Amino acid sequence: MTQQPISSSGTFTLDANGSDPLTVHRLGFGAMRITGPGIWGDPGDLDNARAVLRKAVELGVDFIDTADSYGPEVSERLIRDALHPYDGIVIATKGGLTRQGPDQWTPVGRPEYLRQCVQMSLRRLGVDRIDLWQLHRIDPNVPADEQFGVIAEMVTEGLIRHVGLSEVGVAELQAAQQTLKVVSVQNLYHAGLRQSEELLAHCTVHNIGFIPWFPLGNRELLAEGGVVAEQAARLGVLPSQVALAWLLQRSPVMLPIPGTGSIAHLEENCAAAEVNLDEAAIAAIDALA
């Protein structure tokens, strides 16, 4: 592994054809797992969590994804503690999910609440503008136009630089685009679960960033004896590295954000940027669908 393996993942430019392009390396870091069990409360070792964030940057990561609901608030605070003032690092965050306890999430899309989400994220992260703010979920109990409208207002006011959506389909993306310039989407997607394939194809054609959350899938996907593990053994790398390399080679708009609270796992994940899958490996993993 080179000193900054992330550079081998290539780059992607959000809003490439717009007035405010923002370029990041394609393999980023997801900051959900630096919180406590159930994504609730502080991690067991705060110093280790900060060390993981700093190590990610040392390895070349310049795109870190978080959310106000991770902890809640814990992940954003740790990012500020470890990395502020973010020289050359894009911090993407999300809002619109509330927390009632460990592993409990409820969308709230009332305009005044979304505005509060943005204002509080600005405060916790210590910035005047959020580079990429993503609506964590579209609240089905609030008219979508009201949610998109207040986000558009905050873009105009200079609080948000770029806008993304999370867990949407093509129709929802297109509806949002009537009001907003959407530069990215973030959906559940990995080699073993491709229910967002239509959205990925749409994003590839229209050069919209696609951020797959849970990019390594479940334990079964990487388990010994499985297709991914077999290809990893043949290539002399780790199953997790094959899963991430497959995503990077799947589409030029793919921006995987594997997360971990372990420096060892972080180093393994970042090294995936240097893995090139051959046609046999890609065909074998493609067949999982």
Dmax over CA atoms of the chain, in Å, equals 54
288 and 227 in contact (C-beta within 8 Å)? yes
Give me the catalytic one of 70, 86, 113, 189: 70
Q: DSSP 3-state assignment of 289?
A: coil
248 and 7 in contact (C-beta within 8 Å)? no
First CA to last CA distance, the chain = 30
User: Which among 88, 94, 117 has a CA at the least distance from the CA of 31?
Assistant: 94
Residues 6+ apart with CB under 8 A from 286: none
- List, as one string, the DSSP characters of 116-156: HHHHHHHHHHT-SSEEEEEES---TTS-HHHHHHHHHHHHH
194 and 289 in contact (C-beta within 8 Å)? yes
Report the length, in residues, of the chain: 289
70 carries an active-site annotation? yes
Angle between helices 111-125 and 74-83 (to 10 degrees): 30
* Alpha-carbon dihedral angle through residues 117, 122, 125, 131, given to the nearest 10 degrees: 100
Q: How far apart are CA 258 and CA 8, in angstroms?
A: 16
DSSP lists the bridge partners of residue 185 as 165, 210
DSSP lists the bridge partners of residue 24 as 12
Active site residues: 70
